[in-house]
Structures are given as structure tokens and as C-alpha cells.
Structure 1
Amino acid sequence: MEPHRLSRTDARRIAVRAQLLDADRPTELLALVRHLTLLQIDPTAAVAPNADLVAWSRLGNAYRPEHLTRALEQVRTLVEFEVLIRPVEDLPLFRAGMASYPSYERSRLWFEQNAQFQRDVIDRLRAAGPLTSREIQDTSVVPWPSSGWKNDRNVTQMLEFLVSRGEVAISARRGRERIFDLAERVYPPGDETIPADEAIRIRNERRLASLGVARAKTTAFPMEPGDVGAAGEPAVIDGVPGEWRVDPGQLARLSEPFAGRTALLSPFDRLVHNRQRTLELFEYEYTLEMYKPADARRWGFFALPILHDDRLVGKLDAKADRKAGVLTVNAVHQDAPFTTRMRAAVDAEIASLASWLGLELRT
């Protein structure tokens, strides 16, 4: 079919609406994650953990981190799988991949050489689970062949393999520490498996619905692809080279008046996660600078992108000091001078962030 022609403004509004960042806020956590398809887990908590920050930026101050903990550990409507939180009903989309894991030759060889170690881990969890990795004995015959941070981490590596295979699951977290159990005691009963090709098609369609507009193919991303294959319909965006895919549901909404709002985003938020897409659609430059020396940072250790209506307009350099009970704002970097309205809206959102964290705001 002939590609749809979109302006950059159209594309931005499609992306903002698809990520539930317009004025029509969602109201319920499970529905939010179902639409976004995932929340990424990241240990950095300079302001708040990523999963909580993403949920707060949509749901507002009614959201509490204990809501996520309850969904993961008690009612189990959500599940942690490979460092991403997903709706538990999405598991059939991943079971075909679980059955063939690990696929890389080196990993598969190590896994096969340690067949007894696999059985030992499963037996230990069956008898005593749920357990942390420290509570499971290393009975490996062949150590994991790594020259990096996974050296001497055979138990952790085996547990991660077994999680990826769907035999073990993450039952809970205590801080950053994962607690493991048999998958049959964490996941709901049933072994429905959607064939791999069909699962990829469904995941691409749902990913596009959550992004609004995306490339058919882009560079690889860890954990979750950033492209959507043949999902949706073709589109071109004025001033941006190449072809895109656009979600039909969002296309249909272009005739509706757009009502935006101001939001503070995690650096791992899916609106900005693909930095090249962010540059192309929003003409917004962003780099996560926590890995840079302090004197090389332009925006701060964990600067939060600032969304205002359908534009990314700046970065918030802030840090939460929970012991002192303070959210310190080091700087608000403006990509272009803020209007009086923008300044007031950004200040109100910063105050809302401090209130949600239960911290005193210090500027």
C-alpha cells in the first residue's frame, strides 16, 4: 500500500499517545503494563527505580511501588522474565523460545556439560524453595567460561538459563536480590505455547501499538527489540529519511484534538529508549551520563527527559537522598527557553515527583 505521509508533529503525537503520556492518563497498573507490554527493571535509583518511575509518569501520585510488588509477588498478574516485567498472560508468547534456549553453541555446550548441576538446582528448589542464589550450592562440573563479571558465578548463570527455559522463575525480590522458585509454583497452570513465527508477529503488533510509530528494522537492543517488522502500515515522515511503520489505531486518532501534558521520564522510558528514534522524531539529543566522569557530564548523572505536550524540551538533573529526606534539584536544563507556562508546568511536575517520593524538595 502507499505509505501514509506524516508530519513530525503527527509522528510525535502518535508516539506520545501510544506511550500513554498525553493528558488522558491511565488509571490502573495492570492495564498500563498490558498496553506498554513491559516495564524494564534497572537497579539505578538515583531518583527512583525505572519500573516505578515509568509507572508514576503515567499513573501519577496514586501509584505506589507496593502496587507493583503486590502484582508480582502476591496476585501474580505480572511476572519478571529476563529483567523485564510483563503481564503473566503473555507467557505463551515466549514459550517457543524457552524450549530452544540456549541457542548459542558455547552456552548450549556449558549447559549440557552441567546436566547434573541443572538437576541439583531443580531438586534444591523443589525441596526448599524459594531461595536466593547464595543459598544454592555450586555443583558445576565445568565453570562458566567468562573473563568478565560473571566469573565464579556458576549458580547465578545456571539459574538465569533455567529462567530463560521456563523451568525456574523469579518469585520475588528483596531489594536488588532475586528470589528463585520452580516455575510451576510461580506461573499459572497451563502450557499453552504460541508457535514462534506467530508469537513474533503478535509481539511486533503489540510493540507497535505501544510505540505508535517505529522502524520495521533497526539496530539490535538488549532484552527487547526496538523494531516491529511488518506490523502496522507503512509511513513516511516529513524531514526524516526512510520508511516507518505506524499503528492503525493511532492513525485513526490523528483527527482528534491532541491534549498533552508535562511529564518527567526515566532515561529508560520507551518514549526515549531508542536514542536514534528520539532524535529523528523529537529532534532531541540525549545520552545517559552516569557512566561518564563527573566533569564530562552535560546534564547530570541520571538526568530525566522532560516532556511538554508533544515536545521533549529539557532535562532534569535531580537526586533523591532518602536518608536526608530530600529531593535535590541540581539543574533544569532547557533545550530551548521555557515559556512562563512551560516553566510553571515543569515546576509543578517536579513538586509532584518530590511529593510522590515523600521527600522535601530542595532547589
Structure 2
Amino acid sequence: MHELTRKQARRIAVTAQALTAERPGGIVETVDALSVVNIDPTAAIAPSADHILWSRIGWPYRPADLTRAVEVDRAIFEWAGFYRPMTDLALYLPVMRAWPVYRDQRDWMEANARFADDVIAQLRASGPLRTGEIPDTSQVSWKSSGWTNERNVTQMLEFLVLRGDVAIAGREGKERVWDVAERVYALSSPELGDEDAARGRAERRLGSLGIARVKSVKQPVEPIDVGEIGEPARVEGVRGVWRVDPVVLRASGSFAPRTALLSPFDRLVFDRTRAQEIFDFEYIVEMYKPAGRRRWGYFALPILYADRLVGKLDAAADRKAGLLRVHAVHEDEPFTAEMHDAVRAEIRELASWLGLEVVGIPAE
């Protein structure tokens, strides 16, 4: 049983997420270290995948490099809302085989078996294709109280991707382009059984998180708990037992700190309970709240300083005006002069990467 201080636990988490001064060398290396990179199109600052990769790699990162890694090199694939390294594909094939797990999805797919065959046949003959290029030959419409109601082609494509028959071949702007899976996925890896694949996913998850709970709040598609993988640990002042990755634990012993402005969808803060327990950091994405009820701003960026999450940056990219508008820097603890300097420098780095000029940055 490892007995960890809160500082040690924080350093393990930050090291695992490639947020130390020892930056990863490129996109594939970074995605491999993180195991998953969130895809969200909200671009108050930048789309989440671009922001997450920039916060690790720094100024050399360009979105076109990610596009090439996905669409040309096929070193990264998109599945279930995340970019993932192609080397992990074998871990997810059993999940694809087991889909669907919910009865309404299963019933709809069974009722639309001919529609599914039509979509796959058209992609095989003419793909890759955009959604609008695929005719709706559904037998039964998809019913939903949300935006997917009667969007039969979109829903079928989504389901066929989850099932592993279709893959996202790339994007044209925000629009996905679809193709049959065998033309997108590198399928040379040997197939794994369900148990081996589940263990492999848990090992990858713990390696990317560094420290995690055996069980946690259930998450759709991508869990945040790891079962009995790794080694047991207790964290000073925090109830319960954790699991820690021994490789990350050793690496965190030579911790090299830096400052980073994180995406609201960053895995370091994605598990709000873990962020509270280890970092004493309270955070939610407030863009869904009415403006008058926001504490930190529409799209506030968590601020990492060394091994602590110390505040939130309320800023927005005004691309028409060519400006990064800084509305506020919320300090969870009083900033020292060194912290102020480091945060200001990182804001300038962010603006430079975005090709914008900063306005509203706190005075020197």
C-alpha cells in the first residue's frame, strides 16, 4: 500500500497527463500518452482536441497536423467522441462487437437492417461520403425528444460506427466524412477476448490518469475508474483507497513543473470529484448556465501552476477582431508575483498560437 501526500498524488496525475515541463514530442506520442482526447466543437477559445494537444505540445502544434495523423497517416482514429491511438484499436473491437447494449437501439437497428445494409453498400461503392450524400432508406424513423429526431441517416451512421462497421474517415470543417471501417482502421492487430481487452483498456486508462479509483461514477462510453489494475494507494486527507500506476509513480519523482491553461474538457479536470479530492479544485463548465449565475465565465479555462490547479481564466477568442479578450483571471488562492508572471506569459502563448492579440490581460 503506497502512502501518498496530496502533493505526490497531484504530481502523479499531472505527470500522467503529460503536463510537466518535459513536453511530448508530437501528436501521436501525445495521444498515446493520454489514451483519449476529447472532441468537442465548442470554440470559445479553440476546439477541445486542438486545445488539449496545444497545452501539451506547445507552439509547434497545428490543427493540420492532427488532420494528417487521422486522415493520411491513420495513426489516430475517432470513435465515440474521442481521438484514440490506432495502436489501441484492438482494445475497442470487443466493445464494438457487443454494441448495442440498450434495447431501443437494438430494436431500431433490427427494424432497419435493410437500411444499414444500404448505407454500408453505398459507402463501400462510393465512400468516403458526407452525411448528406447518403439517402434515407429507413424502414422506421428514429424517434427522440432531442435534435436527433428523424435524423435517420445521421443516427444510422453513428450506430454503425459504434458497431464497428463504419468509421469516421475525416472531417470537412465540422462535418464528418464516413467510410467502411476496413478502409480506415488498421486491422492487422490480433483480436483480443473481452476480458483481455477490458484489462488492456483499464491499464491504458490508469497509465493516462496516473491515479484513479477502483470504482467511480459511471460515465458514458469512456469510464474513469480502473478496477484492480495497478497498485493500491492511500492519499493523505482523502478517504478510501486509490490505484496508482507504478511507472508514473516513479516518473513523478523527478517532477518538472510548468504552467498551463487547460481546456474545460481536459482529462485532468474531467472527473470533478477527483479534482476536488486531489487538487481541492472546484470546477464545472458554465456555458450552459444563464450569464447571471456564472461564477467564472462562459468557457473558463482551468489554470495549472506546477502541481496545483490555482484558478480559472475567463477569456474568449474574437476572431473577427483578431483579439483574445481576457475578461478575468479568477484566483482560487492569492497569486504570488511569480504566479502572475507565469499566467500572463501563458496567456500570451495562447494568443500567439491562436494568431490573436491579447486585450484585457492583467497589468504587469
Normalising by the smaller structure, the TM-score range is over 0.9
Q: Which moved more, 1:142-151 or 1:294-303?
A: 142-151
Return closer, same or farther for 1:31/1:138 CA change in 2, 3 Å cut-off. same
TM alignment of 1:59-208, pairs within 5 A: 59-190=57-188, 192-208=190-206
Q: Quick one: which of 8, 12, 19 aligns to 2:10?
A: 12
Q: Which runs of 5+ in 2 are unaligned?
A: none
Post-superposition Cα deviations, 1:246-291, rounded to whole Å, max 9, x if no partner, equal: 111122235x342211000001111100000000000011111000
Deviation at 1:189, TM superposition (A): 4.3
Q: Structure 2: how far apart are the matches of 1:296 and 1:238?
A: 34
Q: Structure 2: how far apart are the matches of 1:192 and 1:326?
A: 50
Q: Which runs of 5+ in 1 are unaligned?
A: none
**Which one-letter code corresponds to 1:196 in the other structure?**
D
Residue 180 of structure 1 aligns to a residue whose secondary structure is strand
Structure 1 residue 328 corresponds to structure 2 residue 306: no
Q: Structure 1: how far apart are the matches of 2:98 and 2:204?
A: 23
Structure 1 residue 294 corresponds to structure 2 residue 296: no
Q: Structure 2: how far apart are the matches of 1:243 and 1:8?
A: 13
Deviation at 1:208, TM superposition (A): 0.7
**Which one-letter code corresponds to 2:21 in the other structure?**
A
Residue in 2 that maps onto 1:342:
339
Structure 1 residue 34 corresponds to structure 2 residue 54: no
Q: Quick one: which of 244, 249, 257 aligns to 1:260?
A: 257
Residue in 1 that maps onto 2:239:
241
Residue in 2 that maps onto 1:303:
300
Deviation at 1:43, TM superposition (A): 1.1
Q: Structure 2: how far apart are the matches of 1:220 and 1:36?
A: 20
Post-superposition Cα deviations, 1:119-152, rounded to whole Å, max 9, x if no partner, equal: 1111211222111111111111111132222101
**Which one-letter code corresponds to 1:360 in the other structure?**
E
Q: Which moved more, 1:244-253 or 1:161-170?
A: 244-253
Deviation at 1:53, TM superposition (A): 0.6
Residue in 1 that maps onto 2:41:
43
Q: Structure 1: how far apart are the matches of 2:202 and 2:310?
A: 29
Taking structure 1 as the reference length, what is the TM-score of the superposition?
0.97
Residue in 2 that maps onto 1:213:
211
Structure 1 residue 355 corresponds to structure 2 residue 363: no
**Which one-letter code corresponds to 2:79 in the other structure?**
F
Taking structure 2 as the reference length, what is the TM-score of the superposition?
0.97
Provide the aligned length of Structure 1 versus Structure 2.
360
Residue 158 of structure 1 aligns to a residue whose secondary structure is helix
Identity %: 58
**Which one-letter code corresponds to 1:172 in the other structure?**
G
Q: Structure 1: how far apart are the matches of 2:254 and 2:188?
A: 44
Q: Structure 2: how far apart are the matches of 1:43 and 1:184?
A: 27
Residue 251 of structure 1 aligns to a residue whose secondary structure is helix
Deviation at 1:323, TM superposition (A): 1.6
Q: Structure 2: how far apart are the matches of 1:163 and 1:357?
A: 32
Q: Structure 1: how far apart are the matches of 2:310 and 2:110?
A: 52
**Which one-letter code corresponds to 1:309 in the other structure?**
A
Q: Give the CA RMSD over aligned residues.
A: 1.1
**Which one-letter code corresponds to 1:215 in the other structure?**
R
Q: Structure 2: how far apart are the matches of 1:357 and 1:253?
A: 32
Residue 242 of structure 2 aligns to a residue whose secondary structure is strand
Residue in 2 that maps onto 1:223:
221
Residue in 1 that maps onto 2:311:
314
Residue 241 of structure 2 aligns to a residue whose secondary structure is strand
Q: Structure 2: how far apart are the matches of 1:133 and 1:331?
A: 41
Deviation at 1:94, TM superposition (A): 1.1
Q: Structure 2: how far apart are the matches of 1:233 and 1:126?
A: 46
Q: Structure 2: how far apart are the matches of 1:122 and 1:212?
A: 40
Structure 1 residue 283 corresponds to structure 2 residue 280: yes
Q: Quick one: which of 249, 269, 273 aligns to 1:272?
A: 269
Q: Structure 1: how far apart are the matches of 2:323 and 2:151?
A: 37
Deviation at 1:26, TM superposition (A): 1.0
**Which one-letter code corresponds to 2:47 in the other structure?**
P
**Which one-letter code corresponds to 1:197 in the other structure?**
E
Q: Structure 1: how far apart are the matches of 2:95 and 2:47?
A: 28
Residue 150 of structure 1 aligns to a residue whose secondary structure is coil
Deviation at 1:175, TM superposition (A): 1.9
Deviation at 1:191, TM superposition (A): 6.5
User: Contact conserved, 2:2 with 2:232, CA < 8 A, in 1?
Assistant: yes
User: Contact conserved, 2:143 with 2:150, CA < 8 A, in 1?
Assistant: no
**Which one-letter code corresponds to 1:333 in the other structure?**
H
Q: Structure 1: how far apart are the matches of 2:194 and 2:134?
A: 33
**Which one-letter code corresponds to 1:85 in the other structure?**
Y
